[in-house]
Amino acid sequence: MKKALAFLLVLIMVFAMAACTAKADPSSSEPAAAETTEATETPAVDVEAENVKAYEGVTLKVWLAPFVRDDVDQSFWSNQLDAFETETGATVEVEIVGWGDMATKYLTAFMSDSAADVLYMTNEIAYDFINQGCLTDLESYWSADEIENENYWDTTYYRDKHYLIPFLGGNSQRGFIYNMDILNECGVDKVPTTWDELLDACEKIHSARPDIYTLLNPMTGNNNAFLTNMLGFLYQAGGSMVNDEGTAYTLNTPEALDAMTFIQTLVDNGYLSTDCLGLDDSSIRDLFGEGKVAISVVDAPYIYFEEAPFAWQFSTELAKSKNEQSACFAPIDTLAVNAKTKNTDAAVALLKYLRSDEVMTAFFTDVYAGGQILKSYPNMITDEHMDDVFAHPERAFVLPIAPNLQVVVDSCINNQQLMVMGQLTPEEALLQIQAEADKAFN
C-alpha cells in the first residue's frame, strides 16, 4: 500500500514537473508572461523568415465592456480574436469589465501598472487617465485614408490629440419617441420639432388623455437622468458643457437657464410627471411599450419597441425654435491604448482589428447592433424608425472630455431632481451645479 502510494506521488511529481517545463517552452501556445515580455522587447531572429509573424510571442490584454452578458461577450471576443492570434502570432487575453467597475478597476490597474494594453473607454472617465499620461496619442497611427473612412473621428479629439478611438455608438442618440396613435387621437398629427410645438402637443395630450403619462423621461440616479433631460435641452438651446478652450465648465449660462426653465415648465404644467423621479429607465420603457406614455426620450428604440401594438415614431429633430439647430446627446464609446504597453504597434494592430469591418459586422449580428463608426461598415440597422438617426449625424452631440465629468453629471442629476421637486429654482440649481463644476477644474 505504502509503495503504491509512493509510486503515485512520484508519478504526480513527474507530471507536475513536465507541465512546468512545457509552460516554459517558447514554442508553447500559451507562453508565460515573463517570456512574453522578453520576446516583445527582442524580436525573434533565429526563426525562419517565412515563419516569423508580426507579433510572435507578444501577449496583449484587452478590457472590453459588456453588452449582453459577461460570458456571451467574453466568448464572442475570444472567438473573434482567434484569427488575430493566428495571423500575428500574438496571444490576446480578453476580459469583460462591468460598467460600474470600470473607473475603479482602471484606476487601481494603472496605479499598479497592471492595466490592459487596449481598453474600452467612456468620456465620463477618460479625462483623468489622459491627464495623468496613462493613454497613448494615436493620431500618428492612422493614415489619411483611414481617417477618411471614419464617421466620428472629430468627436474624440482632446486638445489636438487622439487618445480615444471611436468604437461603438452612432445609433444610440437620445431622441424623443412618440406614440403616434395617442398623438393622433389628441389632435397632434406630426411630431414636434420645436419647444413650443412640444409644449403645444403636451397640452393637447394632457387635456385629452389625463389617464396616461403625457411625457415621462428617466430622472432617477443614473446618467440618463442628465443625458435625456438637461443635456439634450442644453444642446438644443445652443449651450455646451465646457467652453471652446476646454478650460471651464459652462453650466450656469443663459442657454443652460433656458434648458432648465423649459424642464421646469414641463413639470409645472403637469406634462412631465414627477413620477419619473421614482421610475427607472426600464420601467419607463415598459410603460411606453404598454401604451401608457405618449412621449418619452429613449435610445435605439428599435431594440425595445419592435413589436409595439401601436404606431410610433422616433425623432432627434427637436430644436429650441425654428431658427436653431436641433440637437440631442449621442454616446460614442471608444478604445484607448495604455501608454505603458510594451508593444504599442501590436496594441494598435489589435485595436484596429477589433473595429475592423468583419469583426464589427459579426459583433452587430451576434451581440449588439451598433451604428456606423466606420463608413465601410455595412448598415446593420435597417429599421425605418432609425432613418432619422443615420440621415442626421449633425444633430448628435457627445459628452466632452473634461475633469471629474462624472461628478459634474452627478451634481446635474441631483440639482435637477431638487428643482423638479420644487426645492430649487432653475437659477439656484444652476448656481449649485456650476459651483461643483468649478471645483472640478480647480
Partner 1 sequence: MKLKSKTLKQQITGYSFILPSLILLSVFVIAPILLTFYYSMTDYNGFQAPAWAGFKNFKEAFSDLSVQAALKNTFVFTVISVPVEISVSLLCAALIAARYRNKFGEFVRGVMFIPVLCSSALIGTIFAYLFAANQDAFFNMLLQTFGIEKVNWLGSEKTALGVIIFVNAWKDIGYYMVIIYAGIMDIPNDLYEASAIDGATRWQQFLKITIPNLRSVLFMIITVCTIWSFQLFDLAYSMTAGGPGHATTSLVYQVYLQGFRSFKFGYASAIAVILFVLVLVINIIQKLFMKETD
Nearer to partner 1, 221 or 378 (CB): 221
Selected binder of partner 1 within 407, 431, 438, 441 (CB under 8 A): 407
Q: Is 103 in the site for partner 1 (CB under 8 A)?
A: yes
> 141 to each of 147, 149, 337, 374, how far by Cα in Å?
10, 14, 11, 16
Burial class (CB in 10 A: 0-12, 13-18, 19+), 122: buried
Interacting span for partner 1 (CB under 8 A) from 65-73, 102-110, 177-185, 190-198 = 102-110
DSSP state of 49: G
Nearer to partner 1, 300 or 424 (CB): 424
Rounded Cα–Cα distance for residues 88 and 83 (Å): 9
Selected binder of partner 1 within 8, 44, 311, 421 (CB under 8 A): 421
Q: Is 417 in the site for partner 1 (CB under 8 A)?
A: yes
Q: How many residues bind partner 1 (CB under 8 A)?
A: 35
Q: Is 430 in the site for partner 1 (CB under 8 A)?
A: no
Q: Is 190 helix (H, G, I), strand (E, B) or coil?
A: coil
State the CB neighbour count (10 A cutoff) for residue 428: 14
- One character per residue 200-239, x = contact with partner 1 (rule: CB under 8 A): -------------------xxxx-----------------
Nearer to partner 1, 204 or 292 (CB): 292
Q: How far is the CB of 340 from partner 1 (least distance, A)?
A: 13
Rounded Cα–Cα distance for residues 83 and 78 (Å): 10
Q: How far is the CB of 260 from partner 1 (least distance, A)?
A: 15
Nearer to partner 1, 42 or 112 (CB): 112
- One character per residue 105-144, x = contact with partner 1 (rule: CB under 8 A): --x--xx----------------x---x------------
Burial class (CB in 10 A: 0-12, 13-18, 19+), 133: exposed
Nearer to partner 1, 222 or 361 (CB): 222
Q: Is 10 in the site for partner 1 (CB under 8 A)?
A: no
Give me the DSSP letters along 215-276: EE---SSSTHHIIIIIHHHHHHTT--SB-TTSSSB--SSHHHHHHHHHHHHHHHTTSB-GGG
Q: How far is the CB of 129 from partner 1 (least distance, A)?
A: 9
Nearer to partner 1, 158 or 213 (CB): 213
Q: Is 404 in the site for partner 1 (CB under 8 A)?
A: yes
What's the farthest any 2 CA atoms get from each other in the chain?
94
Q: How far is the CB of 132 from partner 1 (least distance, A)?
A: 4
Nearer to partner 1, 132 or 376 (CB): 132
Nearer to partner 1, 47 or 418 (CB): 418
Selected binder of partner 1 within 183, 276, 328, 359 (CB under 8 A): 276
The beta strands (E) that lie in 303-346 are given as: 312-315, 328-329, 332-337
Selected binder of partner 1 within 119, 279, 319, 412 (CB under 8 A): 279
Rounded Cα–Cα distance for residues 294 and 183 (Å): 7
Catalogue the long-range contacts made by 319-325 (C-beta closer than 8 Å, 24 or more residues apart): 319/193, 319/194, 319/195, 319/236, 320/194, 320/195, 320/236, 320/237, 320/238, 320/258, 321/194, 321/195, 321/196, 322/193, 322/194, 324/236, 324/237, 324/238, 325/236, 325/238, 325/394, 325/395
Q: How far is the CB of 284 from partner 1 (least distance, A)?
A: 9
DSSP state of 374: B
Cα angle: 62, vertex 68, 307; to 5 degrees: 150
Cα angle: 360, vertex 361, 362; to 5 degrees: 90
Nearer to partner 1, 128 or 383 (CB): 128
Q: How far is the CB of 286 from partner 1 (least distance, A)?
A: 9
Residue with cell string 393622433: 184
Q: Using CB under 8 A as the criterion, which residues of the chain lie in contact with partner 1 when the complex forms?
A: 103-104, 107, 110-111, 128, 132, 219-222, 274-280, 283, 287, 292, 404, 406-407, 410, 413-415, 417-418, 420-421, 423, 432, 440
